[in-house]
């Protein structure tokens, strides 16, 4: 029988970390074996966890906080936990948010009452030490037994120890007994912080709800048949033949801890953990999203006008009207703009003023960041075909005030500049393909997650909220290739704005979001992006009608609001967290 050890304080943890001489991936695996034996109680016994146990505080941890989909979901989880503790214990639960970075836009998501703690350099991908270590693990060769493999094992351990000391100190100081890592232990942006989380939570007997939005195997394979396109996550298998490294990698992602449960956002993820990786069914769960009542509220013409007026100030830098920048000038200064992204609107060639409150403006919204898998260039290809239809061409010909804008709301991660360039070039192609009379009235906007400007306060206006951003739009465009959930479909449905979307991978997830197998009244209506960019006359007629005809849009609005309200209310999420806490042992 394995001797049960006690772990009374941080000093003991520091001694534990200082003991070994790590010189290989196997040495790290041995440390994981040792830490699993450390417990303050017999882990074979089911003890359960109560809300009372956790009332001193709960902490989320993720790579960084901004206005990306993961951060927005974390905000919802946090609000649900607050409601749960308030309803059950009449308690304001202290919530903590640990991250590698808190971007300016994080203030939109994280409430002032919530505690923040930054651990330097624990961000992921290219934001982890400038991408140096990520590249060595997942883009460069690291043969088993090689010097580079040994060097990297030492480096990852060194960083993990550094992260673990800071993390353990913060958790112990604040009495945190439940940690909720979001994506850190499923999407390997920084293996050192994932390793640190395992060491700390196992050593100090901390419960863990591992929230997983994406897994490395979704869109990733070690090998592909000849002719098959590369997947967006194939790089994670670059060194899969280094068995020492990859066995540790698979063990960490995700960690099957005694005090851990895995919470996924779709059924295929759950099936994979149980059927392929051997997780017990009673330790793997799914969680849906939820929609606030503000999303579901019907809004007036005046509220649309106010939302557009606010965005007008944001995109113009505080003016009543927007002076667009010719797209070629923006491309020429792109390197500088990427370092300090500010809202901008681009025109094709002629610099004509733009006012978003123009009632003849047709507003297309892509409510995401600019990353390759979102395939935003497809928006422009569709709009190009729409502009060539007789119906839309006639509107531009007969109405000199008619304008069209494609507005992309999210920032551009520094490593995705090439994806932004692809979008800008697709915009240029669109403008070159239509008459000058049309191209001079077609714009592309980037608000880079900005929802406030000093001019709003001067005009006695509050900052924009996410619900208002959807109200800007006549149609939502969402041609994504792969999604963990596909939140814009739910949010557009709640807002009553029709969506044109792709049937992204995994298709089972897409079908679940739209409610493919549910009764018609619970299905979210949508228009499908064709995969090969070949648009039928029927599809173009449908999309143009949705764009220009408010009454036609209403047939989507009422139906989708009701469907989303039934399926994605906040009480569902509160009840889920209550169940998760009860089953943690």
Q: Is the pLDDT of residue 228 over 60?
A: yes
What pLDDT score does 2 carry? 40
CATH code: domain 19-37+62-290+573-583 is 3.40.50.2000
| Percentage of residues in the chain having pLDDT higher than 70 | 97
pLDDT in tens, 249-258: 999 999 999 8
State the span(s) of the chain assigned CATH 3.40.50.2000: 19-37+62-290+573-583, 293-568
- Nearest of 393, 382, 328, 405 to residue 531 by alpha carbon: 382
Contacts of 395 (CB under 8 A, 6+ apart): 402, 548
| Better-predicted residue by pLDDT, 46 or 394 | 394
Residues in contact with 28: Cβ distance below 8 Å, sequence separation at least 6, in sequence order:
22, 153, 156, 157, 195, 248
Instruction: Indicate whether 486 pLDDT > 70.
Output: yes
Residue 517 has pLDDT above 70, yes or no: yes
Q: Please name the helix (run of DSSP H) or strand (run of DSSP E) that holds residue 181, with its range, or none.
A: strand 178-181
The pTM (predicted TM-score) of the whole model is: 0.73
pLDDT at res. 3: 42
Q: Is the peptide bond before 254 cis (omega within 30 degrees of 0)?
A: yes
Residue range 395-452, pLDDT digits in tens: 999 999 999 999 999 999 988 999 999 999 999 999 999 999 999 999 999 999 999 9
Extract the tokens encoding 328: 């070629």
pLDDT at position 356 over 60 = yes
pLDDT tens digit sequence for 74-110: 999 999 999 999 999 999 999 999 999 999 888 888 9
So what's the pLDDT on residue 181?
A: 98
Closest CA to 36 of 328, 347, 251: 251
Cα 555 to its chain centre, rounded Å, is 30
Fold topology of 293-568: Rossmann fold (3.40.50)
Give the Cα separation of 374 and 376 in Å (integer): 6
For the chain, give the mean pLDDT.
92
Average pLDDT over residues 450-462: 94
Of the pLDDT bands very low, low, confident and very high (cuts 50, 70, 90), residue 12 is confident
Q: Nearest Cα to 19, choosing from 199, 260, 152?
A: 199
Q: Which residue has the higher pLDDT, 576 or 1?
A: 576
| Contact criterion met (CB below 8 Å) for 124 and 88 | no
For residue 209, give the nearest of 170, 168, 257, 174 by alpha carbon: 257
Q: How confident is the model at residue 9 (pLDDT cuts 50, 70, 90)?
A: confident
Q: Binning pLDDT at 50, 70 and 90, where does residue 6 land?
A: low
């Amino acid at each position: 029988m394995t001797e049960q050890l006690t772990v009374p304080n941080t000093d003991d943890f520091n001694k534990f970390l200082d003991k070994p001489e790590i010189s290989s991936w196997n040495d790290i695996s041995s440390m994981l074996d040792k830490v699993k034996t450390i417990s303050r109680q017999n882990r074979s016994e089911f003890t359960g966890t109560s809300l009372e146990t956790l009332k001193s505080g709960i902490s989320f941890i993720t790579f960084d906080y901004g206005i990306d989909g993961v951060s927005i979901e974390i905000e919802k989880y946090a609000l649900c936990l607050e409601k749960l503790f308030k309803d059950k214990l009449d308690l304001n639960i202290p919530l903590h948010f640990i991250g590698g970075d808190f971007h300016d836009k994080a203030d939109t998501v994280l409430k002032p009452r919530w505690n923040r703690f930054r651990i330097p350099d624990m961000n992921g991908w290219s934001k982890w030490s400038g991408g140096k270590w990520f590249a060595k693990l997942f883009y460069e060769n690291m043969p088993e037994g090689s010097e580079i493999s040994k060097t990297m094992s030492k480096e990852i351990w060194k960083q993990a120890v550094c992260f673990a000391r800071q993390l353990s100190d913060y958790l112990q100081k604040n009495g945190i007994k439940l940690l909720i890592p979001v994506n850190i232990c499923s999407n390997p942006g920084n293996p050192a912080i994932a390793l640190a989380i395992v060491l700390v939570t196992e050593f100090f007997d901390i419960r863990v709800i591992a929230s997983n939005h994406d897994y490395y195997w979704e869109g990733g394979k070690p090998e592909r048949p000849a002719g098959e396109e590369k997947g967006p996550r194939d790089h994670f298998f670059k060194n899969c033949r280094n068995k020492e490294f990859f066995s540790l990698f698979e063990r960490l992602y995700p960690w099957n801890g005694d005090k851990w449960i895995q919470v996924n956002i779709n059924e295929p993820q759950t099936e994979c953990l149980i059927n392929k990786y051997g997780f017990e069914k009673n330790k793997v769960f799914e969680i849906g999203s939820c929609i606030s009542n503000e999303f579901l509220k019907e809004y007036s013409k005046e509220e649309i006008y106010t939302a557009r007026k606010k965005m007008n100030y944001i995109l113009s830098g505080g003016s009543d009207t927007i002076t667009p920048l010719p797209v070629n000038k923006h491309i020429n200064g792109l390197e500088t703009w990427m370092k300090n992204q500010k809202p901008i609107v681009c025109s094709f060639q002629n610099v004509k003023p733009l006012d978003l409150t123009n009632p003849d403006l047709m507003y297309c919204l892509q409510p995401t960041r600019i990353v390759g898998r979102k395939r935003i260039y497809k928006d422009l290809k569709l709009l190009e075909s729409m502009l060539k239809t007789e119906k839309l061409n006639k509107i531009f010909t007969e109405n000199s005030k008619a304008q069209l804008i494609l507005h992309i709301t999210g920032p551009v991660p520094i490593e995705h500049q090439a994806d932004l360039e692809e979008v800008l070039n697709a915009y240029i192609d669109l403008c070159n393909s239509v008459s000058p009379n049309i191209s001079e009235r077609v714009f592309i906007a980037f608000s880079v997650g900005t929802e406030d400007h000093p001019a709003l306060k001067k005009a006695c206006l509050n900052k924009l909220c996410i619900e208002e951003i959807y109200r800007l739009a006549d149609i939502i465009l969402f041609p994504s290739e792969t999604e963990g959930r596909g939140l814009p479909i739910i949010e557009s449905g709640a807002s009553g704005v029709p969506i044109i979307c792709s049937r992204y991978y995994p298709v089972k997830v897409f079908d679940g979001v739209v409610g493919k197998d549910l009764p018609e009244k619970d299905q979210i209506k949508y228009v499908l992006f064709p995969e090969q960019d070949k648009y039928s006359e029927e599809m173009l007629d449908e999309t143009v009608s949705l764009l220009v005809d408010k009454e036609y849009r209403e047939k989507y609005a009422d139906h989708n609001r009701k469907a989303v309200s039934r399926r994605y209310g906040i009480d569902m999420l509160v009840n889920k967290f209550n169940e998760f806490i009860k089953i943690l042992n």
